[in-house]
Amino acid sequence: MLIFLLNHIEEKKLRPPIKRLRQSKERMVFYLIGLLLLLLPYGVSAVDIFPRDDEHKGIIDIGPYQIYPENRMGNGIYYEKKLLDAHPQRVILNITSIKDTKSYVYLFRDKNRIMGLDIIKNDADGDARFWKVDQQFYQYSNNTFGIQRVFRIFQGKVIPLLPHLRTGAGVATTTNHAIFYHITGSRDSTDTNSSGQEITQRIYTFRLHLINRNQKIIKSLQNLEVQDFSYSLKLKWINEYSVSYKLANGKKEIVDLRKYAPSLF
C-alpha cells in the first residue's frame, strides 16, 4: 500500500511537465503550418496542395517562366520563382516578353472561357499603353522609348507579330482579315512653297502587312510603298478586300489588296 501511494505521488509530480511538453509541441506544429501557408503564394517550390490529373500537372515551364498550378482558376505566373501576376477570375495559359522592354504580355481564359491578353508593366519602361483592338489583336505603344508592337491570340498562344520591328502599329480588322504597318525608314524632304521659301519636312515610308485570321502567316506587301509626312497611318477597311488611308495633304488612297496578296483571299 505504501509503495502504491509513493508511485501515485510521483506520477502527480510528473503530470504538469508532461502536459506542458505536449502543449509546447502542439504550438510548434501550429506555427510551422502557419509559416507554410504564408510562404505558399510566393514561391513555386512551396507545397502543392492541388490534386493532379491529366489536365492539372502542377508547374508548367515556359522558357524562363513558370505557370502554377496548370489550368486552375486563380493560378499565377512566375519569373525566377517570383510571382508576376495572378487574378482570381482568370486561368493564365501562356506568356511572352515585350522585346526591348522589361514588361510582359500573358494569355488568360476568364470564367466565361473567353481568352484575352493582359500586360504586366514594369515601371522602368516609362510611358507605355496596351490596348485591345478586337478579340484576337492587341497593340502596345511606348512613348518613352519609341516602341510599337502588335500581339495576336492564335491557336491558344500569344504571338508577337514581327517582333524584330520597333514600329508595328495601326491595326485594322474585318471578320476575315487584319492589316497593320511598320515604318521602314524616314528622310528629310525640302520643297519650295508658293512664297519661294524652302521648307524641310520629315517624310516616312510605310510597309503594310496582311493577315488572314484563319492562318498563321503574315504577308508583307513588298510591292506597295506608302509615304507621308505624318509618322502614323490610319488604315480603314472599305470592303472585304480593300483598305483606304488618308495622307497629311488630305488625299485619300484606296488599295485593292487582292493585287498584292491574292492567296489570302
- Please give the pLDDT value at position 192: 85
Residue by residue, DSSP assigns 45-77 as TS---S--BTTB-S-EEETTEEEESTT-TT-EE
CA–CA gap between residue 19 and residue 258 (Å, rounded): 87
C-alpha cell at 236: 480603314
Closest CA to 182 of 217, 208, 164, 219: 208
CA–CA gap between residue 159 and residue 91 (Å, rounded): 18
Q: How confident is the model at residue 137 (pLDDT cuts 50, 70, 90)?
A: very high
Lowest mean pLDDT among 44-53, 102-111, 187-196: 44-53
- Please give the pLDDT value at position 5: 41
Q: Cβ(128)–Cβ(140) under 8 Å?
A: yes
CA–CA gap between residue 26 and residue 30 (Å, rounded): 6
Residues 213-228 pLDDT 10s: 999 999 999 999 999 9
Closest CA to 114 of 136, 143, 97: 136
Q: How confident is the model at residue 8 (pLDDT cuts 50, 70, 90)?
A: very low
Q: Cβ(78)–Cβ(85) under 8 Å?
A: no
Residue with the larger pLDDT of the pair 245 and 191: 245
Does pLDDT of 230 surpass 70?
yes
Q: How confident is the model at residue 28 (pLDDT cuts 50, 70, 90)?
A: low
Does pLDDT of 64 surpass 50?
yes
3-state helix, strand, coil in the chain (%, to 5): 20, 45, 35
Q: Tell me the backbone φ, ψ of residue 134, rounded to 5 degrees.
A: -155, -165
Residue with the larger pLDDT of the pair 102 and 4: 102
Domain coordinates in residue numbering, the chain: 39-160, 167-265
Q: How confident is the model at residue 196 (pLDDT cuts 50, 70, 90)?
A: confident
CA–CA gap between residue 5 and residue 10 (Å, rounded): 9
Beta-bridged to residue 130, according to DSSP, are 140
Q: How confident is the model at residue 6 (pLDDT cuts 50, 70, 90)?
A: very low
Question: Does the predicted model carry a pTM greater than 0.95?
Answer: no
C-alpha cell at 249: 495633304
Does pLDDT of 7 surpass 50?
no
- Please give the pLDDT value at position 212: 98
Does pLDDT of 45 surpass 60?
no
